[in-house]
Structure 1
Amino acid sequence: MSTQVFINLAVQDLPKSIEFFKGLGFEQNLQFTDETASSIVISETIYVMLLTHPKFKEFIPKNAGISDARSATEVLVSLTMDNREAVDKMYAKALSLGATSFSEPIEMGSMYSRAIQDLDGHIWEFFYMDMNAAPPQ
């Protein structure tokens, strides 16, 4: 069995966050969705669990707080795209759905990326890496 990745994110407005990720083209798994949480399918092995703040607190120590992703970087989630055009398309789509730009485009030789902050400030980077142009090992 392949290892699966579940990214758990605290969100302020669950319905709006669900619509944001669905708007990016990802599917919602209703089997793991209720009024406190929603599973978003990124790929066969990557899932995002959108959790209301009270639900998120059930999984952390009682005295731990939830970071404000707009004022402190908690994580940078990077997703590969098939090409540069797909990077730009996903970036533009995210902005049209209410995301904000996080940084200028980054070009590092064979890698190209664009980053956004989602509705709750979580940072998502869309990137393409041309493996044929990557330096040899």
Structure 2
Amino acid sequence: MTKMIFVNLPVANLAASRRFYEALGFTNNALFSDDTSACMVWSESINVMLMTHAKWGTFTTRSIPPSTSSEVMLAVSCDSRETVDAMNTAAAANGGTADINPMQDLGFMYNRNLADPDGHIWEAIWMNPTAMGAAEAN
């Protein structure tokens, strides 16, 4: 069986967060979604569970950090530089914040950071497989 990761995130407005993630290219898995959570699929092995604050509270008694603090930055790979740019543009147009950190272009790697409506940080990243292969050969 393929190993999977489920990233669980507390969200203030489930419907708005679901629309945000769909705009970034995630799809909803209705089998694992209800009025308190939404399972958003990035790939066969990566899922993001969006949970209302009440639902989140059934998993932990730890407080939800304010949207101005950061505990993690979640990175997802993209197929192209254009996909990285499109995610960043979609974030800004759907209640998130684009370019919360400076864009990074190292030639072989390109990334931009965005925040969802609740301040969760995502890094959209593209790596040039040709350049990476040349670096590994050296």
Q: 1:93 maps to what in 2?
A: 90
**Distance of 1:130 and 1:26 partners within structure 2:** 23
Residue-pair matches, total? 134
Match of residue 44 from structure 1: 44
The residue correspondences of 1:45-84 to structure 2 (distance < 5 A) are 45-60=45-60, 62=61, 64-68=62-66, 70-84=67-81
Give 5+ residue unaligned stretches, structure 1: none
How far residue 111 of structure 1 moved from its aligned partner, in angstroms, is 0.8
1:130 Cα deviation from its structure 2 partner: 1.0
| TM-score with structure 1 setting the length | 0.91
SS of equivalent to 1:3: coil
1:118 matches 2:120: no
Q: Which residue of 1 aligns with 2:5?
A: 5
The structure in which a higher percent of residues are helix is 2
Q: Does 1:130 align with 2:121?
A: no
1:93 partner amino acid: A
User: Normalising to structure 2: TM-score of the pair?
Assistant: 0.90
How far apart are 1:100 and its partner, in Å? 0.7
Shift of 1:25: 2.4
Which residue identity is paired with 1:89?
A: A
Distance in structure 1 (CA, Å) of the matches to 2:93 and 2:79 = 21
Counterpart AA for 1:91: N
**Percent of paired sites with the same residue:** 38
- Cα RMSD (Å) of the superposition? 1.3
2:26 maps to 1:29: no
Q: Note the C-alpha offset of 1:71.
A: 2.0
Greater than 4 Å deviation, 4+ residue runs: none
SS in 2 for 1:87: helix
Q: Which runs of 5+ in 2 are unaligned?
A: none
